[in-house]
Each structure stands twice: as structure tokens, then as C-alpha cells.
Amino acid sequence: MSRLAQGGLIDRAKPLQFTFDGKRYSGFAGDTLASALIANDVRLVARSFKYHRPRGIVTAGSEEPNALVELRDGARREPNSRATTAELYDGLTAESQNRWPSLAFDAMAVNQLFAPFFGAAFYYKTFMWPKAAWEKLYEPMIRRAAGLGRASELPDPDHYDKVQAHCDLLVIGAGPAGLAAALTAGRAGARVILVDEDFRLGGRLNTENVEIDGSAGLDFVAATEAELRALPNLRVLTRTTAFGVYDDTYAALERVADHLAEPAPYQPRQRLWRINARRAVLAAGALDRPIVFGGNDRPGVMLAAAMETYVSRFAAAPASRLAVFANNDAAWGSAFAAHDAGVTVSALIDTRADVSPVLAAKAKARGLRVVLGGRICDAHGKALTAIDIVAGGRTERLAVDGLAMSGGFSPNLQLTCHHNGKPVWNDDIAAFVPGTPPPGMSVAGAANGSYDLGDCLREGAARAVGALADLGIAATALTVATATLNGTAVSAFWHVAEARTKAFVDFQNDVCASDIVLAEKEGFRSVEHLKRYTTLGMATDQGKLSNMPGLAIMAAITGKSIPETGTTVFRPPYTPVAIGALAGHHRGKDFRPTRLTPLHGWAREQGAVFIEAGPWLRAQYFPRGAEKTWDQAVNREVRAVREGVGLIDVSTFGKIDLRGRDVGAFLDRVYINTFSTLAVGKTRYGLMLREDGFVMDDGTTARLAPDRWVMTTTTANAAKVFQHLEFCAQVLWPELDVQLTSVSEQWAQVAIAGPRARDVLARVIDDPATIDNGAFPYMSAMETRVMGGVRARVFRLSFAGDLGFEIAVPARQGEALARALMQAGAEFDITPYGLETLGVMRIEKGHVTTNELNGQTTALDLGFGKMAKKGDFIGKVMAGRPGLVDPDRPRLAGFKPVDPNDRLRAGAHFIAVGAAATTENDLGWMTSTTWSPTFGHALGLGFVKGGTARIGERLRAVDPLRGGDVLVEVCNPVFFDPEGVRLRG
């Protein structure tokens, strides 16, 4: 066991059991999977992407490139989970990934032997011979070898939440800088949200042994946390990563239950926070970075800052004999911490020839061996066993089982780049610092390149004061008199030229220094090309560790400076985010809202089968008795209407109330035909175009009173038409007196159709005399009363093409109306019918719907050319363009099979008899088809060149997709009652 006997922020009273690759281990509450593995002496935890090299744990945070595991099992298996951020819970299970048959013996490691041929982008240059082998052989092989973990392939059993929050100040990161910012703003009374991705507040204070105003750093954290949590205006969110900066909105992911075996009942697993923050302070700290030398990827090599975290925060020693390799002061602090905790520090190798006397003295006091001006060129062992130190022209091999490296820190400035801001180079700290952050964001502490603890605290407080001042909120900066002064000096050093073995830049994607050399030789010199050619920085850690050394090596080869070389772009998310969290509750049946008509309950009582019609659920048909298939029901329903009477729920139509002096003039401008002449008590069919001359929608509009009209739109276009009319009324013609109100929800609407329709209505309407054919002819409309005083609107219309009425009543009366009609029609065998039957009858009648009004058709195409009036209307001018009036455009016609036994299918194309079925000979296509019980054969509507001029002609309707080739006759699209006798009867 490498668990140190004392210290650490773990709860030794709470032991926890877990398994890794099936083997049982134990750790403590407060551990991460990584710290627990280290405490159990597990070094080898993963295999790399390309060469399947053995890998260990490199970091102690979300930047981990190597220690990725499959966490949990079954449907909850999560590939590519970072052991360094997975909190230990009792019963945790994890498996290593991307290895076969086992982690210790991975057959794919033979890839390393071929490494000379597997350099950067090798796949673009090979696998082309023979041609067919790419897809048959090479690609499947590559795909199997690539990828990391395995998805569960089962539906995710957990659920997710999304929350909106609003605040004056969002503080990202709860290290000293963030805590100072939050406390300053919180005390000022501002609305503050403080997020940290860790499960503890404190940031580096949880690791480093420092003092603030005379007390321990951890005490400062505890006191600050207590005060923050007590403030009502401040919200603290731990386990919450701010991952993206969008316009006016920060996105953060809270891992609500990932530290539990499974979420408590009704607890979401994770929560997506969308935060509208007026100002933000980014205090995300800085990340230690690796140095590129031979074998720097071996298990046992880790970042110095991480080593210190394992030792100090988790009381887990990553090594028994440790060397430290660095170019900066901070790593010396890490070495001291390890030594002070009882870990043997065999050597402290610094690339610098000089360090501050203070550091030197501290090392001396501890009796540490220090090598100045030295480098490690290679590390050895499957798990680290030895290192080669180069100093003073000599190479020395030193046996160690742990190496802590530090190439200096890189500020965590990713979020400052999400609005295309570019970082700027700071030579003093050999790092990029934030350039232009997104509007409203300022940066404090190590994220801003300020590495001294006192500076971090002061800067955090000052940024909060500044941000609140912008908002007119006065705040007093938290004051700190003294804070531990740790050395912060650094001298740029990236790559050990003497390395003899593979030196890794991007650990996860196996990008080596040699790959960068190759990329440069082949002309991929821009950092963005370098990235894409070598995959540097494209792994799950997004180059948090590798980008800096990679571009520094490129800069060195090309002889350019680092700022001239530049960085690649940081994009959201800061760390990968579960897709489920971004979806929240909108999945399964709740993917989109379901709309129910006011007659839904009645239709269900009647045994309806429902179908999704856009957002609506509508009755499709009403099976009866022994009917086995849907078409049996539909044929019965059609016959019932044609021979007697049927009723259907048409409540889904859009209904728009128009009121005002100028409604007539307004409608004249939005419809192609005239409405201003429509008499009160009449309704008219209208066609609406878009301004580009194509049909937008059709429907009827009735005039109920001189200044009150009601329009119906198609179900599909209800919202679109309302928006369009609002545009016309508010923007185009504000001078017209028109008020628009959507009354779609208020009215239930039922259509009754069939020869007996009037007889039925007569028994339900309060004054039957008013619906006499004379008093109420076809295309009449009135406001009236039904069922003994219920307000109603009755329209004499029929989409089905029969004698018909549509009756609208207030929605709550809808089901009562349906029942009343059913009762009144019982003696005529009144039959409820559904969408499917309506579809049959409208085709029989040649009425067009979405299949025909698909946005590609003109009024002429539909045979409505004559409807267009002389004066202006929307779409008039553009509809006159040659392409739209071309006589060669396919026009609407009807079709029937020459052999009545043939079936027609929508989507078939028309070809002249004797002509080949090719694009050149394509005459048009079938839009809608049905088997017509009324005619005893199939019917179709479609667009064909020449349109109704071809009536009587025979064409092939070819349907190669389904092997169809049917001889059809072109007909009048109105099959049923072409003279309209039924309608008017």
C-alpha cells in the first residue's frame, strides 16, 4: 500500500470498496479513482490510442489524457471516463479499455513495432492498393483498432435536468482567486454564482501548504466556504464545470449524482446550467505541463503538480523513489512536499543553471540531491524503473519508480477563447495569457498568469469589484495582508533534444516529437495544419497538456517565435459533456410536446387508432368489430359517409379571428383571390402565396359580421400563417385597421359529411330552419346555437366533397357536440371517421393538401390560375416570372389505373408509354394515391407536364423503388361529384 499513514483530505473512517479490471481494492471517501489506484500501487491503468503503449496516471484533474477507463457497467457503462475526476463510491467498478486480451498483455501493442511506418497521417499515403481493399479490409481494421472505450449500446437509464439561472456575477473556479472574487461580490449583495468542477472548494489550496493572513490555507477555505454558503444571494455549485461561453449565456454541467452508485429516486444524474451572467470572473487556475523526452509517457511519470496533489491531498504516494524534472520553482515546492510527506526524492533535476538561493537553501535543508542545468533524456521500464539524466555532458542512469515532471504552467484560459478571442504570449511566465475575453468576462489568478498566492487573492477581489462597478454595484475588495510567497520563476524548456526513444507530445493520440518534425517537412507548418495532420490536441483532453510543447517544437523547427507560431482554437466544451445532459427531459415521448384535440377523449372512447400529425395526435381510423386491417375500417368509413353520414374532428385547423374596418382589404392583399366582396354569412376558399410566388397555404375565410372574419388554415401551417399575417399587419400595412387573434384553442370543430349530414345537424342545431338549403346554401357561414343554447359557428363546407357542415363550439363543448351528433345520427348509422378516411375522400374529390402544397407549387400548377385577381397581392409579381408560368411545368391532374386491379403509389413518376424510364423522359410524379371504395379502384393525384390537357392519355407510373410499373389514365383530378351536385344538395 502506498497510502501515507497520515494527512490528506480523505475520510479514513469511511473505507470504500471498488474494483478495477475485476480486481477488488479499497479506498476512502474523498478519494478519486485515480488516487485510490495509486494508493493501491496500481500503476498501469490504460493503453494509448495508436501504439497501445502502457499508460499510467499523469494528472490529478480533468486534463487527464491517459487514465481513461470504462466506468460502471451494463447500461450505465461510460467509456473514456477520467479516473482522475471519478469520485470513489462504494461498489465502483471500472475497467481498462482499448486493450486485448488484457491490460497487462495487449496484443495490439505490436503496433509499436510498426511505429516507423505509422508516423503522422500515414493512412493518407497508403491503404490504396488494391482499390477495393480500403473499404473491405483496411478501413474495418482501422475502425476496430481505433476508438477508445466501448459504448454500452443500451438506452441510458438515467435522466437529466436543465436549469436556467441569472446572476450579476458568475465566478468560475473556487481556488484562492475565485473565492476572493465570490466573497467580495457576495458581501456586496450582488447575485453571485460560484462554480467549481471539483467536489471541494479551494483549488490549489487543497494541495499546497500555504498560509493566508497567518492561518493555514485550508482554514481560509473553510471559513470562506462557511460565509459563502450562508449568503442568500450567493449560490455555490461544486462538481460543476463551466464548459462553454455562448452569447450572453454560460453553460455549466453539474454532476449531481455521479459520485453515487446511482442517482436517488427522481434525482437527475446531471444538470445542465444555462447561466445568464451579466459579468463573469474566470479564476480557473493554471495547469502544469509535461516536458517532451524519451519515454515520458511511461506509467510512473506524472506532472509534478499532480504528484503533489496525490501526496498532500490524497495521502497517496505515487512512488517510493521519486525524481523531479522541471524548469520552474513551483515543482521544487512539489518536491519538498513529497519529501516532507516521507517520499524519497532521489533527485531534483532542473533545466535551469541557477535557481533562487531561497529554493536552494530549502532543498539543502532537506538533503535533496539537486541537478541544475540538467535534463532527463529517456525514461525506461514498462512501468518506470530508471531515468537517464544528462548534465554537464554526462549521462547518468538513476533507478526510480516515479518521476514528477513540470514544464511550467499554462493558464486555463480556454473559456476566454470561446468568442474567438486569441491568447497573447507572455515571455516572463513562458505561457499564453488571456487576450480578449468574451464581453463581460475578466480573468483573475493563475488563469490570468498571476501565480503568486497573494496576487491571486488580490486579483480575484479586484476583478469582482470591477465587474460590479460596471453594474453600478459598490463593493469592497477582500483584503489580504500576508500570504505565503512561493517561487514562481520559470524558464522556457520544452523538448529534450538528446532523447533516444519515442518522446511523446500528445499522450492520448500518440503524437511524438518526430511526428511534428515530419509534419513540418511535409509542409504542415501552420499550427492548425499541424493539429489536423498529426491529431495533436484532438484527443479527449483537447491538448490541455500537449498544445504548448507541440507548438513550441514547431516554432523551434521553423525558427519562428512561439507567438508567431500561434495556438489552435479552443472551442466548447471545456471538458466533454454527456449528450444526455444537453438533451435533458426532451427525449422519448417527451422529445416534443404532444398536442391533443378537445375531442381526444371522445375519439378514444370510440376506439380510435391515433397517429402523429406534426405535434398533434389525431384519430387515424376507428376499427370496428371483426375488422383486422386498417383498410377494412377505412373502406367502411368512406362508404358510410358517401352513403349516409360521418363525422370527423377537425379541431386542429388553425383558426384566426380577424377584426377591423380593413379586414377585407387586408385579405385581398394576402390571398390571390378577392375577399372584400364577400358577403356577411358567406365563406370562401382562398389561396395564399409567399412573396416569391409559390403557394404558402390554403383555407377558407368566413365573414361573420361586417368587421369580423374568421380564417382557417391548414393544421401544418397554422403558426406560420399567423406569423405571416402578423408581419403583414404590423409591418407591411400598419395603416390597415386589422386585429388578429388566434382562436385555434378556443374552438372545437367537427365536420359532418354525407347525404344525411343536414338531417343530423337539424337535430342538434337549435333552429333547424336556418340550415335549409335555401337559407344556408353551400359556402354559407353563421353564428348560431346548438344543443340548446351553446354558442356555435356553422360553415357549409366539405373537404370530403359531400354535403357537409363544419360546426365549431367552445372547446369544452366539443365532446358533447360529438356525442350529440352521434346520437342524432344513430338512425342514419352515423360513423366517426379519421384522418385516413378523410385522405381517401379528399383524393376522390381532388382536394389538395400538404403532399401537393409542398412549397414547390404555384397556383397555376394547382389549376387555380383563374382565381388570381387583377390587383396586387403578396406573390403576384414574382408569380409572373417565366419559370413559374412555363406551360411545361407539371400541373395537377388525376390518375387511375387502366387495369382496375392495379395499385397506385405516391412517389411514382410518369413516363410516356414506350419511352425509357429516365430523367429526360420524366413527365411528373404522383403526389397522393388511395384505393377508392367509392369507385372500386385506385385513384391518384399528381403533377404531370401538360396537366389536364392530357386527360384520357395513358402513361406509365413507374416506381422502380418498389418495382412498380403501372399503366394509368390521366383524368380530371375531381373524380367524385365533379359538378358539385352533392356539395350543393
Partner 1 sequence: MLITCPYCGARDAHEFTYLGDAELIDRPDPAGPEAEAAFHAHVYLRDNPAGPHRELWYHGSGCRQWLTVTRDTRTHAIASVVAAARPEVAR
Partner 2 sequence: MAKAHFLEGIDPSTPLAAGRWGAATATAGVTMRRLGGLSIASIVSAKGAAPAVIAAIEAAHGLAIVDRPEVCAGTGLCCVGTGPGKWLAVAPRDDGEAFADGLAAAVGAAASVNDQSDGFVIFELAGARIRAALAKCLSIDLDPPAFVPGSAAATLLALVGVTLWQIDEAPVYHLCVGRSLTEAATRALAAAGAEYGFELTLD
Partner 3 sequence: MRYSLLNVVVNGLTGNRFAKPAWRDPAPKPAYDVIIVGGGGHGLATAYYLAKVHGIRNVAVLEKGYIGSGNAGRNTTIIRSNYLLPGNEPFYEWSMKLWEGLEQDLNYNVMVSQRGIVNLYHSDAQRDAYARRGNAMRLAGVDAELLDRATLKAMIPFLDYDNARFPIHGGLMQRRAGTARHDAVVWGYARAADALGVDIIQNCEVTGFSRAADGRVTGVETTRGAIAGGKIGLAVAGSTSRLGKMLGLRLPIESVPLQAFVSEGLKPLIPGVITFGMGHFYISQSDKGGLVFGGDIDAYNSYAQRGNLPVVEDVCEGGMALMPMIGRLRMLRQWAGLCDMTMDGSPIIDTGPYPGLYLNTGWNYGGFKATPASGWCFAHTIATDAPHAFNAEMRLDRFRTGRLIDEKGAGATPVLH
User: Of these, 7, 109, 122, 560, which contacts partner 3 (CB under 8 A)?
Assistant: 122
Selected from 354, 427, 564, 612, the binder of partner 3 by CB under 8 A is 612
142 binds ligand FMN, rule: CB under 6 A: no
The answer to whether residue 533 forms part of the interface with partner 3 (CB under 8 A) is yes
> What's the min distance (Å) between Cβ of 757 and partner 2?
25
- Selected from 356, 739, 856, 972, the binder of partner 2 by CB under 8 A is 739
Q: Does 731 bind partner 1 (CB under 8 A)?
A: yes
Chain Cα centroid distance, residue 926? 37
Asked if 813 touches partner 2 (CB under 8 A), the answer is yes
Smallest separation, CB 927 to partner 2 (Å): 29
Q: How many residues does the chain have?
A: 985
CB of 163 to partner 2, least distance (A): 5
The entry of partner 2, partner 3, ligand NAD, none near residue 925 (CB within 5 to 8 angstroms by kind) is: partner 3
Q: In this chain, which stretch among 163-171, 408-416, 506-514, 904-912 interacts with partner 2, using CB under 8 A?
A: 163-171
Judged by CB under 6 A, the residue of 107, 424, 569, 912 near ligand FMN is 569
Three-state DSSP class for 312? helix
Partner touching 663 among partner 2, partner 3, ligand NAD, none, CB below 5 to 8 Å by kind: none
Of all helices (H) and strands (E), which one includes residue 254? strand 249-254
Minimum distance from CB of 737 to partner 2 (Å)? 6
* Angle subtended at Cα 436 by Cα 432 and Cα 442, rounded to the nearest 5 degrees: 95
Residues 848 and 173: their CA atoms lie apart, in Å, by: 60
- 3-class secondary-structure state, position 558: helix
Q: Which is nearer to partner 3, 12 or 881 (CB)?
A: 881
Give the CA-trace dihedral at 696, 698, 703, 708, to 10 degrees: -40
Give, in degrees to the nearest 5, the angle at Cα 479 between 474 and 483. 150
Binding site for ligand NAD (CB under 6 A): 172-178, 195-198, 203-204, 208, 241-242, 283-286, 329-330, 409, 412, 445-447, 451-453, 456, 486, 488, 574
- Considering the rule CB under 8 A, would residue 265 count as an interface residue with partner 2? yes
Closest to ligand FMN by CB, 2 vs 66, is: 66
Q: What burial letters (b/e) apply to 204-215, b meaning 16+ CB within 10 Å?
A: bbbbbbbebeee
| Interactions with partner 2, residue window 165-194 (CB under 8 A) | 165-166, 191
- Contact of residue 616 among ligand FMN, partner 3, partner 2, none (CB under 5-8 Å per partner type): partner 2
DSSP at 780: B
Cα–Cα dist 512/502, whole Å: 7
Q: How far is CA 233 from CA 164, 188, 189, 224, in A?
A: 16, 10, 6, 15
* # residues contacting ligand FMN (CB under 6 A): 5
**Residue 453 contact partner, candidates ligand NAD, partner 3, ligand FMN, none, CB within 5 to 8 A by sort of partner:** ligand NAD
| Backbone dihedral angles phi then psi of residue 486, each to the nearest 5 degrees | -100, 150
Minimal distance in Å, beta carbon 329 to ligand NAD? 6
| Cα distance between residue 847 and residue 850, in whole Å | 10
Sign of torsion over alpha carbons 475, 478, 481, 483 = negative
Interaction mask 534-553, ligand FMN, x per CB under 6 A: ----x---x-----------
Q: How far, in Å, CA of 17 to CA of 26, rounded?
A: 4
Q: Which stretch binds partner 2 (CB under 8 A): 282-290, 736-744, 834-842, 906-914?
A: 736-744
Q: How many residues bind to partner 2 according to rule CB under 8 A?
A: 56
23 burial (CB, 10 Å; 0-12 / 13-18 / 19+) is exposed
Among 325, 432, 493, 524, binds partner 3 (CB under 8 A): 524
Confirm or reject binding of residue 244 to partner 3 (CB under 8 A): yes
Give the nearest distance from C-beta 565 to partner 1 in angstroms.
25
From the list ligand FMN, partner 3, ligand NAD, none, which binds 152 (C-beta under 5 to 8 Å, kind-based)? partner 3
Burial of 393 (0-12, 13-18, 19+ CB in 10 A): exposed
Contact status: 823 vs partner 1 (CB under 8 A): no
Separation of alpha carbons 281 and 441, rounded Å: 6
**C-beta closer to partner 1: residue 125 or 881:** 881
Of 667 and 893, the one with the shorter C-beta distance to partner 2 is 667
CA distances from 935 to 620, 784, 839, 954, 979 (A): 22, 37, 15, 19, 17
Q: Between 407 and 445, whose beta carbon lies closer to ligand NAD?
A: 445
Q: Is 422 in the site for partner 1 (CB under 8 A)?
A: no
The two most distant CA atoms of the chain are separated, in Å, by: 115
Residue 25 is classified by DSSP as: E
Minimum CB distance to partner 3 smaller for 587 or for 954: 587
Contact between 727 and partner 3 per CB under 8 A: no
468 exposure class (CB count in 10 Å sphere: 0-12, 13-18, 19+): buried
The least CB distance from residue 4 to ligand NAD, in Å, is 22
The reply to whether 160 sits near partner 3 by the rule CB under 8 A is yes
Least distance (Å) from ligand NAD to the CB of residue 446?
Answer: 4
- The 3-class SS string of 587-628 reads CHHHCCCCEECCCHHHHHHCCCEEEEECCEEEEEECCCCCCC
Does 571 interact with ligand FMN (rule: CB under 6 A)? yes
The nearest distance, CB 190 to ligand NAD, in angstroms, is 19
Answer yes or no whether residue 906 interacts with partner 3 by CB under 8 A: yes
Cell readout for 235 is 449560490
Q: Which helix (H) or strand (E) holds 971?
A: strand 964-971
**Distance between CA atoms of 95 and 810, rounded to whole angstroms?**
62
Would you say 63 or 329 has its CB closer to partner 3?
A: 63
Q: Terminus-to-terminus CA distance in the chain, angstroms?
A: 96
Q: What are phi and psi of 911, to 5 degrees?
A: -135, 140
Contacting range for partner 2; rule: CB under 8 A; set: 509-517, 642-650, 805-813, 823-831 = 805-813
Q: How would you classify the pairing of strands 301-303 and 402-406?
A: parallel
- Contact between 229 and partner 1 by CB under 8 A: the answer reads no
Residue 862 near residue 833 (C-beta atoms within 8 A): no
Q: Give the whole-angstrom CA distance, residue 32 versus residue 313.
A: 11
175 binds, among partner 3, ligand NAD, partner 1, none (CB under 5 to 8 A by kind): ligand NAD
563 binds partner 3 (CB under 8 A): no
Please give the residue ranges that form the binding site for partner 1 (CB under 8 A): 246-249, 276, 419, 439, 691-692, 719, 723, 726-727, 730-732, 734-735, 872, 876-878, 880-881
Please give the residue ranges that form the binding site for ligand FMN (CB under 6 A): 528, 538, 542, 569, 571
